[in-house]
Structure 1
Amino acid sequence: MITHAPSSTPATAAPADPPPVVRTAAMLWLFAVAAGAFEATLMVAGALADGAALGELLPGIAFRLAVFTAAVLLALRMRAGANWARWTLGVTLGVFGTLSLVVEPARWLLDGGSLGAALAEAGVVDWVFMGSRSLHLLAVLGAVTLMFQPRANAYFRERRAVRGASA
């Protein structure tokens, strides 16, 4: 009978599933991307209806497509435990992305725009856009809040330790 000595190499821990706060944060990021793509579609359709040439819009479309693609990839990497992806999302889209969502309406209000008049004159597309933008903003704020909760912090520390142990 042959017996084997126990292995002296430590077993690496199986990758932990992300906790609900991290899974939900990733889903909120994906929802925010979908809302952003929907809003971009409405803006492009409106610009084309107003007579803009598609060539004029292509740089903006390409930029948004790059941002949406990066956001999806970062959300997926964050869900898998990449702390750098969490921080990249938090800073780039959580801070600067949020500012990009609110700066235009804030500037319009500061320049004397009337919220009551704008709402009274809003058409169906305007209401749909405002609803999408509101949900988009709530998704970003919710994702950022969830991905820095204590359970999320513990998950990212655990993932870093597992990667360090397997290196």
Structure 2
Amino acid sequence: MTTNTPAAVRAAFVTWLVAVGAGAFETVLVVASGEAGDGAAVGVAVRLTVFVAAVLVALRMRAGRRWARLALTVGLGVLGTLSLVLGPIGWLLDGNSLPDLVSSASALDLTFGASRVVHVCAVLAGCVLMFVPSANAWFRSRARARVAVG
């Protein structure tokens, strides 16, 4: 990481780490609860692969690689967020009630829900922070510097 990396890019990197941490925590909760079922090993392997890839790509984003910023935005910002929210949205559209869910939820359910909120907020914040004006200017300057050198 260069010393002139904008605060927004540094903050975006941290939010991606928070998102990965929340995702890993959710995975642990599901496996520990026994709700993962017979496919737990496969599910954990897939999630672990995504988490490692996300951290590696976030490191490249922090280094000024525009492709990494795009990959995080499309891969996790769009597709990943959809995978996190489509189930709950469908559940609500089926006529279920959030107050009823909260009133009957266990401590594990509430913990998982809180982690999911942190997870989604971190992803959305990471996407926004990567595209604020200071970040845009910095990514452009990094790309120009690579072209000039190479």
Q: Does TM, scored on the shorter chain, surpass 0.5?
A: yes
Taking structure 2 as the reference length, the TM-score comes to: 0.94
Q: Secondary structure at the match of 2:4?
A: coil
Aligned residue pairs, count: 149
The residue aligned with 2:118 is 135
Taking structure 1 as the reference length, the TM-score comes to: 0.85
* Structure 2 residue 67 is the aligned partner of structure 1 residue 91: no
Please, what is the CA RMSD of the aligned residues? Answer: 1.3
* Structure 2 residue 14 is the aligned partner of structure 1 residue 19: no
The residue aligned with 2:47 is 64
Q: CA deviation at 1:17?
A: 2.7
Distance in structure 2 (CA, Å) of the matches to 1:94 and 1:105: 17
Amino acid corresponding to residue 36 of structure 1 in structure 2: G
The residue aligned with 2:139 is 156
Amino acid corresponding to residue 22 of structure 1 in structure 2: V
The structure that is helix-richer by fraction is 2
Moved over 6 A (4+): none
Q: CA deviation at 1:47?
A: 2.1
Distance in structure 2 (CA, Å) of the matches to 1:115 and 1:158: 46
1:45 maps to which of 26, 32, 46 = 32
Distance in structure 1 (CA, Å) of the matches to 2:4 and 2:115: 31
Q: Which runs of 5+ in 2 are unaligned?
A: none
2:61 maps to which of 78, 85, 101 = 78
